[in-house]
Amino acid sequence: MRRKLIAGNWKMFLGIEEAKSLASAVVNLTDNNGPDILLCPSFILIPPVQEVVRGSHVRVGAQNLYWEEKGAYTGEISAMMLLDAGCTHVLIGHSERRQYFGETDSTVRRKTATALEKGLIPVVCVGETLEDREEGRTETVIENQISRALERFKAEEAAKVVIAYEPVWAIGTGQTATPEAAQEVHSQIRRWIKDRYDKEIADGIRILYGGSIKPDNATELFSEEDIDGGLVGGASLNADSFKAIIDAAG
């Protein structure tokens, strides 16, 4: 039985004191009896949030990384810097990174390989646009993104990856894939992993849903067989709504 994971992607929100307050509330309102909990603040907020959650059941992740260890790469951050700051996970290939900052399947793979090599757990994001869905390309788009992200990885490496399915058309729009539609894509992802590796790897990998999850739709989504938690955006910026989603996964 896969233990669910609820990850809060804080994106480019919150100041230091707001972040510390929210992180403290998440720690105090939740416990280790439910799903795994991950907070992904902006880079500057990672150290203060880590100070708040240290020793608790809450983990801290980053929203991005670069594949080089060090060098003249202004504005970038390395895996070792994230590890030094206490991160355990890192988001890779989020749709906003692909849309606004030129992230490609190739860079997603390089970043995923670096995360695995250095000991971070990559949360690899995949998803189709509204145009892709309307033209019946969802399955092809998702399989291409996953196959390129995990290209040449051995089974033991792939087993450490978390995948987040985030339909681009549902992010920040208030729209949500129906539980049945989300389950269909999650099931497709798991079948691909089974065919590429084996049933044991496929059964063990956690596949999160990340498209406008809210307290009022979380229970239905998490009841689906292949939805192993959520990558939560706006609803993770409020402790009460985030707790409600965590409870729904409990």
More confident of the two residues 250 and 96: 96
What digits encode the pLDDT tens for the residues 50-71? 999 999 999 999 999 999 999 9
**Active-site annotation holder among 96, 128, 166, 186:** 166
Any catalytic annotation for residue 186? no
Q: What is the pTM of this model?
A: 0.95
Residue among 94, 96, 128, 186 flagged as catalytic: 94
Residue 156: which domain range? 5-248
What confidence category does residue 151 fall into, taking pLDDT thresholds of 50, 70 and 90? confident
Confidence of residue 173 (pLDDT cuts 50, 70, 90): low
What mean pLDDT do residues 5-9 have? 98
Residue 51 annotated in active site: no
- Please give the tally of structural domains in the chain: 1
Q: What is the mean pLDDT of residues 124-130?
A: 91
CATH number of the domain bearing residue 38: 3.20.20.70
- DSSP one-letter string for the chain: -PPPEEEEE-TT---HHHHHHHHHHHHHH--TTSSEEEEE--GGGHHHHHHHHTTSSEEEEES--BSSSSSS-TT--BHHHHHHTT--EEEES-HHHHHHH---HHHHHHHHHHHHHHT-EEEEEE---HHHHHTT-HHHHHHHHHHHHSTT--HHHHTT-EEEE--GGGTTTS----HHHHHHHHHHHHHHHHHHS-HHHHHHS-EEE-SS--HHHHHHHHTSTT--EEEESGGGGSHHHHHHHHHHT-
- pLDDT band (50, 70, 90) for residue 195: very high
